[in-house]
Amino acid sequence: MNIKKNYNGKELTIEVGDRIDTVTAPDFENEIMDEMGKFDSLIIDFTDLEYISSAGLRVLIATQKKLKPENIPMTIKNVNDTINEIFKMSGFDKILKIE
Amino acid sequence: MDLGDIDISELSFSEQFYLNFISQGNNVRKSLDVMTQNPMEYNTALLMKIIKDNENTEYGQKYDFANIKSIEDYQSKVPITDYDSYADYIYRMTENGEKNLLTSYEVIHYAKSSGTMGNPKRIPITSLNQDINMKYNYAYLFNLFAEKVGLEWIKYPFLNLTELSMSKLPSGDTYGSISGKIMDVFGDMISEITTSPTEALIPRVGTNIRYIHARFALVNPDISFTISSFVSLFLEFLRYIKGNWELLVNDIKNGTIDESIKMPSEVRESLFGKIEPMPERAEELRKIFEEGFDEPIVPKIWPRMSLLIGCGSGGFKNYLKKIKEFTSPDFNFALVGLTASEGIFSLFTDLNNPDSVLIPDSMFYEFLPVDANDDYGKIVTMDKLEEGKEYEVITTNLSGFYRYRMKDVVRCIGRYNNTPMIEFLYRLDQCLCLAGEKVNGENIRAAAYKTEKDFGFDLIEFSVYVDSDSSPMKYVYLMEVEDFPEDVTKECIQEKLNENFCATDSVLRNKIEKSIIGKTELYFLQPETYLLYKELMVARGTSPAQVKPPRILRDEQDVSFFNVLRDDELNKNNGLNMEEIILKSNIENLDSILLKIEEFLEDKDVSIKSKLKLELIIEELFVNICNYAYEKEGEIKIQYGLLEDPLRITMNFIDCGVKFNPLDKEAPDLTLEANQRDIGGLGLTIVRKNADEIDYKYENNQNILSIEKIF
């Protein structure tokens, strides 16, 4: 897994590449947690992401839960077909904002 | 229980509170004993009271409650119902605060009940219903407990694993799980008499509750009992401690909360105010854990803990067995009977006894025999229950439900005094039928747990669905497991699972053997898939305490959710359906296998030469096993299948004889004269020369020799 973070004003874009699996999911979560409170909008860019496991999905759901009370939007962008299929089949497309 | 010689003024508030329940319990038990002698008298009286009290409600007027004088009147005037029958009324009650629609009694709460994937239900709870809950959940139970172990425990705290979170409805009424509402009785005292702090009982989003429960329970050696809505939560708690004791002990020693433990920073802050370094207790615990978990650990950590209260019937039975690995033999279980948001259906007759008896003053019972095919004419009252027969429960309760189908199936297992005892079997909507077989939660569980035992892995959770798109249709198991055995293939487990599943029902076996139903399939899921499922359901608005692992998947969305979370690594298989023949290890059987393979290759594009070479291989291997594997005679299993590109056959020769790896032997020196060569080795040389692949492994006490032959 590799991660790049980019601020555009208070809008944070996190690009995640390669795999988010049981091993890397905690790092992914920590990277997001490190930025908590610094942004008012979060974009997660999955252009280079090839695989996401249940542990990765749990991070997304947990992050969304944390942001909701503060009304901070979270958007997932540039999802490839494989990952999109995972979102759709798991029902995550109904609770996450995916562009 | 004789409480006559206790000086109440000497006792703390919570001790008085318990004693109050215990002394009420004397009367509850006496009256239960009286009622169960003549249950129909009391149950009929209850129905008549409910009808009379509610004749002026909107529902009561609609169905002319005023002119109901008997059970027969009631059954002819009032229809059988389900939740949808009440949904509109409940909407008006909870959104607009309208009263006197379904019940004239005071509604004090709405219980959040797990519907299916749709909206959670709102089940009204009236004060009368709550009185019944108090009477049987606490007075009765604590009295039995005190009778068995004395009164020492009332001085000590208990471990509560039930979530107490509640929300408010637009009407102002509280809304949350029934188990949380029942705990309401402890009021503000809860933080004094339980070990877990509010941070775990009413958790904020993103808090690791298991850690907090474990952390605060471990520091208190005096815990005397545990309340857990479902007994499975207690097992989860113990497993968490087993897996994380080093971290927990360190935190206890230093008065810290490990960085890796997830919780919002405010929660962490407020918890810091409640902990301090406890090096002595930490040292005690470390010693206990270092001794390992082979011996029961609960009595070492909490010497006083002697009771677990929770729902332990039906699907929860297997959890009990696992909990007993952690507890001492004299540990007690209070297995609350069939309890639901709609009321208490049955009550355990004693500690440690899963049998439960109907309660004549809890609700009015009717029963629809499962084999009546929804013919309401066959509905019976409790006095007509036949032992051994299965029924769906229909309730008229104290909270505004009339002749409500519970979809819970119970079996009558006998009588307590003159009142039927029941055991919970399964949810009616969890019964599957593909081709005349009747498969329900019980069959499905039995096969899964047997397979878990056969292979010694740890089954965390599992689900089953019917793959109706395949031809023939088949059952598919999805399992989340830990401690996956290293030396077993998935196919091997799948095979055994199918066998175990067939063993639960003769009709099922028959259909599978005739390929009317396909062989049972198995897929393993990624770690923590069921936790993710729980979180997804919560994100969609179901109460966390009410999300149960879905045993039978009926919803397309559920099926695809679990299927997309399969674990590719564990499910690896060569995508091949092997055929199989089992023969006695007798050389006379050589012809049978050769004939079988000949038939198998009949319409394939295989040259005679290749066939002959294959026959040589089979002959050598088969004869080898016949001669050497068993002392007398045993079984040889031969599996075979075709692979493409290039076209080739793959075969496994499997025996349970003495462990022997023929490939360990050096290839014999063919330059020697024939009479100087090792005869056994020569056979294998033929195999080596003619087969394109040859492989040996020893798994589950089986020799498995695999070959491939390209045609």
ipTM: 0.83
How does the average pLDDT of chain B come out, rounded?
86
Mark which of B537, B571, B605 sits at the end of a domain: B571
Asked if B689 and B644 sit in the same domain, the reply is yes
Q: Which of A50, A90, A93 to mutate to test the interface with B (most CBs of B within 10 A)?
A: A90
| Candidates A26, A54, A62; nearest CB to B565 | A54
pLDDT of B48 higher than 80: yes
Query: Using 50, 70 and 90 to split pLDDT, how confident is the model at B521?
Result: very high
The answer to whether the CB atoms of A53 and B526 lie below 8 A apart is: yes
**Section B175-182 average pLDDT:** 85
B545, B571, B597 - which closes a domain: B571
Q: Does B563 touch chain A (CB under 8 A)?
A: yes
Give the closest of A22, A66, A95 to B539, CB-based.
A95
Q: Is B588 found in the same domain as B508?
A: no
> Do B690 and B585 lie in a common domain?
yes
* Shortest distance, CA A54 to any CA of chain B (angstroms): 6
Render B320-385 in DSSP notation, one character per residue. Answer: HHHHHTTS-TT-EEEEE-SEETTEE-EEESSTT---EEE-TTT-EEEEEEGGGTT-GGG-EEGGGP
Asked if residue B475 is part of any domain, the answer here is: yes
> Do B609 and B566 fall within a single domain?
no
Question: For chain A, how many structural domains are there in total?
Answer: 1
b/e per residue B668-699 (b: at least 16 CB within 10 A): beeeeeeeeeeeeeebbbebbebbeebeeeee
Contact B583, B595 (CB under 8 A): no
Cβ atoms of B493 and B533 within 8 Å: the answer is: no
Residue type present at position B645: D
- For residue A90, the domain's CATH number is 3.30.750.24
What's the confidence (pLDDT) of residue B331?
94
In a domain, B75, yes or no: no
> B609 and B541, same structural domain?
no
Same domain, B481 and B564: yes
Based on the fold, state whether residues B491 and B470 are members of the same structural domain. Answer: yes
Where do we find the tokens 């006792």? B11
In a domain, B562, yes or no: yes
8 Å CB contact of A22 and B526: yes
Residue B471 belongs to domain spanning: 434-571
Tell me the angle at which helices B209-218 and B231-254 cross, rounded to the nearest 10 degrees: 70
The amino acid at residue B130 is Q
- Is the predicted pLDDT of residue B677 greater than 60, yes or no? no
B529 contacts on A by Cβ (under 8 Å): 54
Residue B693 has pLDDT above 90, yes or no: no
Work out how many CB contacts closer than 8 A connect A with B: 55
State the pairing for strand pair A41-45/A11-20.
Answer: parallel
**pTM to 2 decimals?**
0.62
pLDDT in tens, B327-352: 999 999 998 877 788 999 899 988 88
Report the gap between the CA of B114 and the closest CA in chain A (Å). 18
Mean pLDDT is highest, among A26-35, B67-76, B234-243, for B67-76
Residue B625 lies in a domain: yes
- B88 lies in some domain: no
Per-residue CA distances from B546 to B108, B163, B177, B233 (Å): 20, 10, 7, 12
Phi, psi for residue B307 in degrees, rounded to 5: -155, 140
In this structure, the answer to whether residues B567 and B638 fall within a common structural domain is: no
Residue of A nearest to B480 (CA): A54
Looking at the structure, do residues B563 and B636 belong to the same domain, yes or no? no
For residue A56, the enclosing domain spans 2-98
Residue B114 at interface with chain A, using a CB cutoff of 8 Å: no
One domain for residues B440 and B566: yes
- What is the share, in percent, of chain A residues with pLDDT greater than 70? 100
Neighboring chain A residues of B564 at a CB cutoff of 8 Å: 85-86, 89-90
Amino acid at B167: S
Q: Which of B502, B537, B571 is the last residue of a domain?
A: B571
Token reading at B686:
């033929």
Is residue B205 included in any domain, yes or no? no
Provide the pLDDT confidence category of residue B700 given band limits of 50, 70 and 90.
low
In this predicted model, what pLDDT tens digit does every residue of B613-657 receive, in sequence order? 898 889 888 988 888 888 888 889 898 888 776 788 989 999 888
Gap between the terminal Cα atoms of chain A: 22
B679 in contact with A at a CB cutoff of 8 Å?
A: no
- Distance (Å) from the alpha carbon of B560 to chain A's nearest alpha carbon: 5
**What size, in residues, is chain B?**
711
pLDDT of residue B116: 38
| Residue-level length of chain A | 99
CB-nearest to B205 from A65, A89, A90 is A65
User: Would you call A61 and B528 a contact, using CB atoms and an 8 Å cutoff?
Assistant: no
Specify if B173 maps to a domain: no
Is the pLDDT assigned to residue B183 strictly greater than 80?
Answer: yes
* One domain for residues B596 and B638: yes
Q: Are residues B586 and B550 in the same domain?
A: no
